[in-house]
Copies of this chain bind each other. A is one copy, B any other.
């Protein structure tokens, strides 16, 4: 219906955001210029300042958008579940697949690490983390998880095993498999199986 509107602020804002994300995640904040973004979006660069105030501003917006999506999804994941070992395993798998289909998250985090970005927007997941820790704690009380490890570390390890894979998978293929030949199609799943074994055996009570 509005397909031919000559002006559609929402749409231009959106396509600026999309273009910005593409370029930022490809080259990082410092290497990206405003005109890179406007060029890719096919929109004058002035409009970036009009909608986002500054280069910093649109980078914030990009991050925020992605992290809101992230934590919304994650919260829903935790919402209606009492923790049992089975459900912990389930959310482990869910998280792994979430990262797999949202590689942007991994790149954003890596860029923020390198550019020493201390943005608060990342910490929307504090609530998420608290819930996760709560679940692990009760799992420990119920005797399903060994109690001699700080729940914070258990959760962090959980996250790390997944993130690290999607960050260094390429190195794995090159250095561990000796190149591109003979990589199994389901490499991701094979890895997921392996870390499940290590992780869940590792956190089980003796």
Contacts and interface: CB of A to CB of B under 8 A. Distances in A.
A28 interface: yes
A19 interface: no
Interface residues of A, number: 63
Nearest to A195: B157
A202 B193 CA distance: 13
Interface in A147-206: 148-150, 152-157, 159-161, 163-165, 167-168, 170-172, 174-178, 190-191, 194-195, 197-204, 206
Contacts of A197: 146, 148-149, 202
Interface string A98-115: 000000000101111111
Interface stretch (A1-9, A44-52, A87-95, A118-126): A118-126
The copy count of this chain in the complex is: 2
A123 B149 CA distance: 35
A98 to B, nearest CB: 17
Contact of A126 (B163, B178, B198): B178
A123 B173 CA distance: 11
Given A29-B31, A157-B195, A194-B157, A175 B123 contact: yes
Given A113-B170, A201-B202, A152 B177 contact: yes
Main secondary structure of the interface of A (DSSP, over half): helix
Nearest to A205: B201
Contact of A175 (B125, B165, B167): B125
Contacts of A199: 198, 202
A122 B179 CA distance: 12
A149 B190 CA distance: 10
A126 to B, nearest CB: 5
A30 interface: yes
A97 interface: no
Interface string A10-32: 00000000000000001111111
